[in-house]
């Protein structure tokens, strides 16, 4: 088989996967809007109660789940290229911990309840600081991939320690809300909080359009510069976009792990490493996975919602262990 035929076959696989994931997303979204204590037909809700449940509770939650899942998955795919580490992910590397740490500080030290915009800015700053630390360390030749992963875990432990102090000084209601948020939850999402989508969606689109540049960057910095790519400028743009997406996701839904690790890695294993296709496909698959996990969190227990972070961790932890063992064997 000629090289041209192989390229055409590979592109057809990417396109087929795109349409299959898009169709699966539509099916899961309709099911998520329908299922619950009260079954609702999304295309024809009967009565004021069904309309209120659909448009004030389930639809905002669905939109938030897709946006957060897409943001985390695409951020994970970019971090894996930037850091040269297939195990890189906002949660594993402590970036989500940095966002949550900054957000908890704002919640506890300001004399007023922060707006969704202020919460996003605080979480973005925390994510940016931790991302800069990791990217700076990754460029040092003395820091191996395993050591970088351990540094990310240490940063996550540091943020967890500070958040534990916040638990100690909080009252019962604040502690319960903080615990539920740190486990990752979409239960309290409202239309007001969804104003963050005006920032998440444009940044996500721009990030997904950086695939060709990431493909060039994977050739190495020297080759990328010879091909006319401004590596330093691209790296800063990607860091800022990843920080904004992770900070917005944490501000909207709390700490949700393993989406950014499992989704892009599995797509690479099944389809290949072309980032111009990988980034948009990761966004769709990440949104699909989190919508599915959120639907499970609503229906697994009668009359109760599981934190969606518990569901994603239960699904992602075994895959992460398998990936870690596989990388050590390789």
CB 62 within 8 A of CB 194: no
- Asked whether residue 281 carries a pLDDT value surpassing 80, the answer given is yes
Longest Cα–Cα distance in the chain:
68
Q: State the Cα angle at 246 between 244 and 249, rounded to 5°.
A: 105
The whole-angstrom separation of Cα 211 and Cα 207 is: 8
The whole-angstrom separation of Cα 212 and Cα 11 is: 14
**Top mean-pLDDT range of 38-42, 68-72, 175-179, 266-270:** 68-72
pLDDT in tens, 176-211: 667 766 778 887 788 888 888 888 999 999 999 998
Sketch out the chain's domains with CATH numbers: 46-329 (1.10.3470.10)
pLDDT at 41: 81
- The alpha helices in 170-274, defined as continuous H runs, are 172-182, 197-208, 211-217, 221-226, 231-253, 259-271
Question: How many residues appear in the chain?
Answer: 330
Nearest to 135 by CA among 229, 283, 207, 234: 234
pLDDT over 70 for what percent of the chain?
A: 91
- Asked whether residue 328 carries a pLDDT value surpassing 80, the answer given is no
Nearest to 252 by CA among 71, 76, 126, 34: 71
The predicted model gives 25-46 an average pLDDT of 85
DSSP state of 191: T
pLDDT in tens, 73-92: 999 999 888 877 777 788 77
pLDDT at 9: 79
The whole-angstrom separation of Cα 239 and Cα 82 is: 9
- 233-255 burial, b at 16+ Cβ within 10 Å, e below that, comes to ebeeebbebbbbbbbbbbbbbbb
Whole-model pTM: value is 0.87
Contacts by residues 319-326 (CB-CB < 8 Å, ≥ 24 positions apart): 319/258, 319/261, 319/262, 319/266, 320/87, 320/92, 320/258, 320/261, 320/262, 323/86, 323/87, 323/261, 323/265, 324/87
Contacts by residues 269-274 (CB-CB < 8 Å, ≥ 24 positions apart): 270/17, 271/13, 271/14, 271/17, 272/10, 272/13, 272/14, 273/218, 274/10, 274/14, 274/211, 274/215
pLDDT in tens, 111-144: 777 777 787 788 888 888 887 887 777 666 556 6
- Asked whether residue 173 carries a pLDDT value surpassing 60, the answer given is no
């Amino acid at each position: 088989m000629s090289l041209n035929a192989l390229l055409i076959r590979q592109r057809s696989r990417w396109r087929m996967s795109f349409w299959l994931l898009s169709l699966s997303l539509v099916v899961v979204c309709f099911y998520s809007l329908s299922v619950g204590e009260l079954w609702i037909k999304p295309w024809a809700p009967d009565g004021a109660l069904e309309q209120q449940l659909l448009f004030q509770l389930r639809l905002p939650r669905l939109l938030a789940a897709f946006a957060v899942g897409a943001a985390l998955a695409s951020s994970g795919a970019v971090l894996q290229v930037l850091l040269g580490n297939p195990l890189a992910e906002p949660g594993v590397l402590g970036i989500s911990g940095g966002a949550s740490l900054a957000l908890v500080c704002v919640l506890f030290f300001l004399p007023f309840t922060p707006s969704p915009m202020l919460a996003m800015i605080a979480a973005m700053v925390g994510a940016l600081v931790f991302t800069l630390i990791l990217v700076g360390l990754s460029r040092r030749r003395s820091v191996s991939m395993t050591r970088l992963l351990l540094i990310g875990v240490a940063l996550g432990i540091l943020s967890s320690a500070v958040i534990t102090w916040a638990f100690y000084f909080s009252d019962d209601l604040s502690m319960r809300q903080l615990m539920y948020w740190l486990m990752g939850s979409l239960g309290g999402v409202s239309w007001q909080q969804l104003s963050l989508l005006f920032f998440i969606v444009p940044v996500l689109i721009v990030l997904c359009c950086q695939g060709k540049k990431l493909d060039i960057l994977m050739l190495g910095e020297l080759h990328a510069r010879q091909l006319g790519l401004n590596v330093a400028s691209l790296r800063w743009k990607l860091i800022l976009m990843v920080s904004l997406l992770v900070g917005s996701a944490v501000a909207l839904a709390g700490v949700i792990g393993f989406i950014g690790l499992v989704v892009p890695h599995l797509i690479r294993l099944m389809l290949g490493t072309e980032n111009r296709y990988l980034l948009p496909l990761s966004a769709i698959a990440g949104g699909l996975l989190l919508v599915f996990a959120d639907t499970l969190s609503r229906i697994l227990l009668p009359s109760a919602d599981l934190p969606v972070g518990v569901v994603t961790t239960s699904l992602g932890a075994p895959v992460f262990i398998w990936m870690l063992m596989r990388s050590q064997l390789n």
